[in-house]
Amino acid sequence: MKQKSRLQLKRACFIFLMVLPAIIIPIIFTYYPMIRGSMMAFQSYNLMNIKNIKWVGFDNFKKLFQHSASNTFYSTMWNTVKWVGISLFFQLAAGLAMALLLKKKFKGSGMYQGLIFFPWAVSGFIIGIMWRWMFNGTSGVINDMLIKLHLIRLPVGWLADKSTALYSCIIANIWYGIPFFTIMITAALRGVPEELYEAADVDGANPFQKFSGITVPCIRSVLLLTVLLRVI
């Protein structure tokens, strides 16, 4: 009996040791920073003396909503809304269109699919460097193309101008996010039964009716999940 209880204790200790890293790592890298960051919102820091920390309660939030600070706060929030809304709309629209094109096999579809999925395989750091060079105000390829097309006369500092910097970053973000939607929606479309489309053809449904009545309802859960992930 004692030997059985010892074996059970050893087994329990072994299981606990195996599970321990899965408990410790989230605590160190997720929950502690989250709690610590929440506490910092109610404290005052002096960058000249980082040890001089004071508890100020809701004073930081009161200053945030004062007239001078609130303008910056609301403009930042509005920029965030534009960043998410514009990026998400064009990523979803372009990703869905490309996924519909990839649904049926055609000559060169493999190469076409590889070109679409390529940005998602590239490091975000490399993408940032690449688009920064493309948007360069003096030697960027975008300025060069627009000048040759006679759309602009002089080079534009896309990332240096307050009116164009955000939208330039949004364009890069759209380019980077389209493959994610294409991959997810393509996989979802291949799970839609062809019998539904055949039945719709027999009933005389047009392409829009098949898209709205069959395609969208069948992939609705994937669309919602994909949109939620990209919003996050």
Instruction: Note whether 54 and 128 are same-domain residues.
Output: no
Residue 12 shares a structural domain with residue 126: no
Query: pLDDT digit string (tens) for 171-197?
Result: 999 998 888 898 888 888 888 888 888
Contact 57, 41 (CB under 8 A): no
| Whole-number pLDDT of residue 162 | 86
Q: What number of residues does the chain have? A: 232
Cβ–Cβ under 8 Å, residues 140 and 134: yes
Q: Are residues 120 and 11 in the same domain?
A: no
Instruction: Say whether both 91 and 149 belong to one domain.
Output: yes
Same domain for 110 and 220? yes
Closest CA to 90 of 9, 167, 191: 167
69 pLDDT tier (thresholds 50, 70, 90): low
Using one digit for the tens of pLDDT, what is the confidence trace for 50-63? Answer: 778 888 888 888 88
Q: Which residue has the tokens 């040759």?
A: 148
Residue 196 in contact with residue 217, Cβ under 8 Å? no
8 A C-beta contact, residue 60 and residue 41 = yes
Q: Which domain holds residue 177?
A: 72-231
Same domain, 79 and 167: yes
Decide which of 62, 84, 112 is a domain's last residue. 62
In the chain, what percentage of residues exceed pLDDT 70?
96
| 218, 130: one domain | yes
pLDDT above 90 (res 138): no
**What CATH number did the domain enclosing 143 receive?**
1.10.3720.10
State whether 50 and 139 are in the same domain: no
- The answer to whether residue 67 is domain-embedded is no
Q: Give the whole-angstrom CA distance, residue 223 versus residue 182.
A: 11
Q: Which of 42, 62, 82 is the last residue of a domain?
A: 62
Mean pLDDT computed over 29-49 = 86
Query: Cβ contacts of residue 18 below 8 Å, gap of 6+?
Result: none
> Same domain for 22 and 106?
no
In terms of domains, do 50 and 124 share one?
Answer: no
Q: How many domains does the chain have?
A: 2
Q: Answer with the one of 15, 34, 62 that is the final residue of a domain.
A: 62
Q: Are residues 52 and 97 in the same domain?
A: no
State whether 36 and 103 are in the same domain.
no
| 101 residue type, one letter | L
Q: What local confidence, expressed as pLDDT, does residue 93 receive?
A: 93
Mean per-residue pLDDT, 125-142: 88
